[in-house]
Amino acid sequence: MSEEERTPQQLARESDVELHGMNDERWDAYLRYLEGEKSDELAEVSKRLLEEAKELHAVLQADKIVTPENREQRRQLSRGLRRLRAQRLNDIRALYDDGDDND
């Protein structure tokens, strides 16, 4: 697969980043699994997503040194990863908020 075709999820999977690397269907299944979980566990998943964000940032920084000519590709991947992370954190926040309503 060429650099131009790589998606944020593919970059995450290539970097062994579990949550970011899930495709949307797998993420939805994971959310259904988490639906009944306590807020502590949801907070842990949020924390893992944020830690993975740091790891992916380091991957993109290393790529900058190795292949400086891929600047636009890195920007697009970085933007996509930020959107993906924000959406997934919002999904977790929605589950957390729903859990609070049921208490």
Which residue, among 18, 15, 51, 39, has the nearest Cα to 96 in the 3D structure?
39
Query: Mind listing the pLDDT tens digit for each residue in 32-63?
Result: 888 877 778 888 998 999 999 999 999 889 88
pLDDT number for residue 101: 57
Judged by phi (left if over 0) then psi (alpha if -120 to 50, else beta), residue 16 lies in left
pLDDT number for residue 3: 52
Query: Mind listing the pLDDT tens digit for each residue in 70-90?
Result: 888 888 989 999 999 999 999
Question: pLDDT confidence of 4, banded at 50, 70, 90?
Answer: low
Residue 102 pLDDT exceeds 70: no
Gyration radius of the chain over CA positions = 15
